[in-house]
Amino acid sequence: MVASVDACLNEDLRLTAIPLRKEGAASAHDYHDVEIALQHELGADPLVDVRELGLASDSIYARDDGLNAPYFKKFHTASKKIYLRHAVAKKLVDVNQALEPYQVELYLLDGYRPIELQVEVWDDFVEQARRVLPNPTEDECARYAGYYCSDPRSFDESNFKTWPTHSTGGAIDLSLRAIANKEPLFFGSIFDDATEISYTDHFERNESKNDGASIVEARRNRRLLYWVMTNAGFANYPYEWWHFDWGTQMWVVNSGDYSRVPVFGYAKRPAAM
């Protein structure tokens, strides 16, 4: 991790473009066949409350103040505590060290999801598909939802091909905020915006010399988050600038490195959650 910290000190990660997403890049539909090394020593890594490691967090699905756009509601099964595998949370602590020269820190929005919450989130995206697609079939609704949420409908605790990535504790949704005033940075779209503006490379593809200050700011902040996380070994989900994985099936697929071995399978909900 020292090398990543040094990289931040010696070069501004906000000036390095994010690689463009390949046509037909894998989505949340496409990772399930990757086998998990369930006997790996990290397979039993416990879920921990990220606040115990000093990570800033605000569980987006648990907010009940109506300010968690685009939902404006609390999800019934959501917890105000965000949990991750201990090894993943420790990596995020290292990422914060790399961010210190920028005077910002990670701001966690979601992590481990029990299957009940995954169902709630999935159902919400399916309902959204019914609103925005012209007379969609159920398959079309599922296809739409599956770009933004792993499908939990066939969940089987004994079958690794049915495990949502957020239900492993190795997937994280996060942004950045200023250390001084705790204000979130601007990324050009809200969390869980189900349009192409949420694609990680959106502002790279639409770069122009006439871009306004807000677009330049969003591009720079996305670059910083992308590079500081991928330098630490995480893999970004190209359809969501905020989603990263480590040690999961999606971590392998989205990195494109099939020599990686996922180690995190389905994790049961902590009693304290």
pLDDT > 90 fraction of the chain, expressed in percent and rounded: 91
Judge whether 268 lies within some domain.
Answer: no
Q: How far is CA 11 from CA 16, 98, 177, in A?
A: 9, 12, 20
What's the distance, CA 149 to chain centroid?
A: 11
> What is the domain extent for residue 234?
2-112+165-255
Helix axis angle, 86-99 relative to 2-10, nearest 10°? Answer: 30
Judge whether 148 lies within some domain.
Answer: no
Total number of domains constituting the chain: 1
Judge whether 80 lies within some domain.
Answer: yes
Judge whether 9 lies within some domain.
Answer: yes
Mean pLDDT of 143-161: 96
pLDDT exceeds 50 at position 6: no
Judge whether 25 lies within some domain.
Answer: yes
pLDDT, position 210 = 72
Judge whether 266 lies within some domain.
Answer: no
Output the domain CATH number for residue 96.
3.30.1380.10
pLDDT, position 1 = 34
User: How many CB atoms neighbour CB 253 within 10 A?
Assistant: 25
| pLDDT band with cut points at 50, 70 and 90 for residue 153 | very high
Q: For the full predicted model, state whether its pTM sits above 0.85.
A: yes
pLDDT exceeds 50 at position 65: yes
pLDDT, position 5 = 38
